[in-house]
Amino acid sequence: MMEEPILIQAGKRGLFSMTSELNCKHSMTTNLKLYGLRISYYTGKLEGYLRYKEIPYDFVTLNPRLMRMLRDKTGAAQMPAVELPDGRFMTDTTPMIAWLETQHPNSAVIPNDPLLRFFSHLLEDYAEEWLWRPAMHYRWSYVTDRMHLSRKIVDEMMGSVPVPGAIMRAIIRRRQRGEYVQRDGVDADTWDHVESIYLNTLERLESIFQNRPYLLGDAPTLADFGFFASMFRHFSQDPTASDLMRLRAPGVFSWQARLWNARVGTTPYRLLQELPADLEPILRDAGDAYLPYLNDNARAWQQGLKRFDPVIQGVQYRAVPVSQYRVWCLEQLQQHARAVPETHKGQVQAILEAQGCWQPLFALDEPGSHYDEGSDAPFRGRKVHYDNRKPGQFG
């Protein structure tokens, strides 16, 4: 859900077409344009979805000119962004997928069954937001990983910049480690807890993929793409995390490759009839850690703070950035829960209560994100509103 801001204002041009790979007969002029980078967490999520749904697209590697263009068109320099054939621009992968599903409804990744539909939303939100911190930690905290990734960024993005590569790589390492690790609450006191999020998730997913190919059945759903964001572009490819995945969870390694290769035309669309018990450990993680964190973040937002000090599963984090987007995540989860039909509300509530999710989901009646007040997502730019007591003023 939360997209990656584009922090490094340098690069080279690139264009890659998926048309021939997907064996589509559409004209190039009818393709989506997907703006992003090959190492990007959320770009990988959306690209995986487009490949699965066999939606023709052209991959456009970001460069300084395109970054300025995206900022002008969307109000924010973030990736991925999509340009539609009619010239409209979209941002934020979850709203983008929701909109694309209305245009390509076959083999829906957002299930029609009310129970699976709600839990696909909850699992997706948990996966892509809660695994962000360990994904960035493994990429930039370990020397081997940050040396490797800084080179990949320079090679992909900055070939035309007249600055020695070694200097550019050093700048990237300092910037990314500082912004996404040290200033996101990862220190000596929280290091083990951050890594436990990844390791526990591997264990939970491994047990699931021993039983079926995807989280909710024989076809991928929104929940799979939520986990795919980190598991594909970070954990399965970055050196340290990838070694751990291959050794501890080969079934997860197979799943992320299977999802990358999946196509609606060849994947049987069979989903489960009920929520399986092997998802309960992940839901307990959401109830124990993620949803309480969303509440703490929302309370800090309501106080007009830019940083806060949450205690997560007994571990003290310090000076964690307040996220407007994650206040909106909490609002969206509440909205999805309230939208469950009466015929299924009791069942959904019983599952959430059993896994410790119900109380933290509704601890705040009105989180007040002011993120998408016009209901324009995904056709809107990101604005950051640090004082929700003054609607309309953004900083």
Q: What is the mean pLDDT of the chain?
A: 89
Alpha-carbon distances, residue 243 vs 108, 148, 153, 248, 278 (angstroms): 33, 14, 21, 8, 25
Domain 4-99 falls under CATH 3.40.30.10:
yes
Distance in angstroms (rounded) separating the CA atoms of residues 1 and 129: 7
Distance in angstroms (rounded) separating the CA atoms of residues 293 and 125: 13
Residue 269, both tokens: 């669309």
Express each pLDDT in 239-251 by its tens digit: 999 999 999 999 9
Higher-scoring residue by pLDDT: 91, 2: 91
Which CATH number, 1.20.1050.10, 2.60.120.200, 2.60.40.1180, 3.90.110.10, labels domain 114-261?
1.20.1050.10
Check residue 170 and give its pLDDT: 92
Higher-scoring residue by pLDDT: 118, 2: 118
Comma-separated ranges of CATH 1.20.1050.10 domains in the chain: 114-261
**Once rounded to an integer, what is the mean pLDDT over residues 93-109?**
97
CA of residue 146 relative to chain centroid, distance: 21
Task: Determine if the peptide bond prior to 378 is cis (ω within 30°).
Answer: yes
First and final C-alpha spacing in the chain: 21
Going by C-alpha positions, the residue among 207, 223, 217 that lies closest to residue 127 is 223
Distance in angstroms (rounded) separating the CA atoms of residues 98 and 349: 24
Comma-separated ranges of CATH 3.40.30.10 domains in the chain: 4-99
For tokens 């992320």, name the residue: 256
Express each pLDDT in 107-155 by its tens digit: 999 999 999 999 999 999 999 999 999 999 999 999 999 999 989 888 7
Alpha-carbon distances, residue 376 vs 34, 93, 144, 342 (angstroms): 20, 14, 42, 28
**Once rounded to an integer, what is the mean pLDDT over residues 55-77?**
86
**Once rounded to an integer, what is the mean pLDDT over residues 267-287?**
97
Distance in angstroms (rounded) separating the CA atoms of residues 247 and 239: 12
